[in-house]
Amino acid sequence: MNSNGFAGTTDANGEVQVAVTPGFGANDYPVVITCVGGTYFDESDNSTQPQTEPMRSVIPDAQSIAEVGGKIGVNPFTELATALFDSLPAGAANRTAAAAKASYGEIGRLFAPGMVANGGALNLMQASTPVNTANPTNLGNNVAGQLATYLAGFAKYAATNGGSMAVLADLRTKIATGTAVPASVAQGIKTQANSYTPGATTGVTAQPSGNGGTAQKPTSGGTTGGTGGTGGTGGSGGQL
């Protein structure tokens, strides 16, 4: 897993362009990008809040970037997938591109299987529709809009459960240590996602429920091993 020091600052839409260092090639993947410091837009009350927890995305390989349209999202889903990937034994033999992709698939299984059913697990890694104070609900019935709706559901759920940063930190620990995610968490997030844009057509309400439970560790070949937790109902992450 590579951690070369590419750096940049996000703009008003939370986007940043990063120039890849010459010589960076296929053997340098998977690579992790991290967002630290600054602020984030909280959809629960359309406020700006300090980002006190880091958020990361693991990029499996160069092809993955093309598969999500050239833009990589960094959000609670990607942070949880990265935490799962990072909990694998160190070394290139274990932390493979296939294992990184399987980590996204496992987070989708726990929280939002509908997001990965059509288009694959990397749907969680793509950039969501920008949401900000001037345009808090400009969402659509496409992958980017659905992801943004799920992320808003995370924010709304977190608002009554200690706040987005606290919930993110707790879920990160559970995912990394193999502690079961309560079904009530997945259900609460999905319920809030459903209600974020009443009357809007985002395709979220009709999506299947997630499983909740324990995140299974991917193998180097990309499959998950171990025993999954008991079921829960759907859910998602928050746009931070």
**Res. 10 pLDDT band, cuts 50 70 90:** low
Q: What is the per-residue pLDDT across 119-140, written as a single tens digit (0 to 9) for each?
A: 688 999 999 998 888 888 878 8
For residue 128, which of 158, 155, 110, 161 has the smallest C-alpha distance? 155
- Residue 21 has a pLDDT of 63
> For residues 96 and 102, what is the distance between their CA atoms, to the nearest angstrom?
10
Beta-bridged to residue 212, according to DSSP, are: none
pTM of this prediction?
A: 0.87
Beta-bridged to residue 57, according to DSSP, are: 33
Tell me the average pLDDT across 130-154. Answer: 89
Tell me the average pLDDT across 147-152. Answer: 93
Residue % of the chain over a pLDDT of 90? 55
Average pLDDT over all residues of the chain: 84
> For residues 145 and 164, what is the distance between their CA atoms, to the nearest angstrom?
20
- Residue 3 has a pLDDT of 43
HSE value, Cβ hemisphere, 13 Å, CA-based, for 118: 10
Higher pLDDT: 26 or 154? It is 154
Give the range among 6-15, 55-64, 166-175 with minimum mean pLDDT: 6-15
Handedness of CA 67, 68, 72, 77 (dihedral sign): negative
pLDDT exceeds cutoff 50 at 225: yes
pLDDT exceeds cutoff 90 at 224: no
176-210 b/e (C-beta count within 10 Å ≥ 16 → b): beeebbebebbbbbbebbbebbeebebbbeebebb
> For residues 154 and 114, what is the distance between their CA atoms, to the nearest angstrom?
16
Give the range among 39-53, 87-101, 221-235 with minimum mean pLDDT: 221-235
- Residue 2 has a pLDDT of 43
> For residues 95 and 90, what is the distance between their CA atoms, to the nearest angstrom?
7
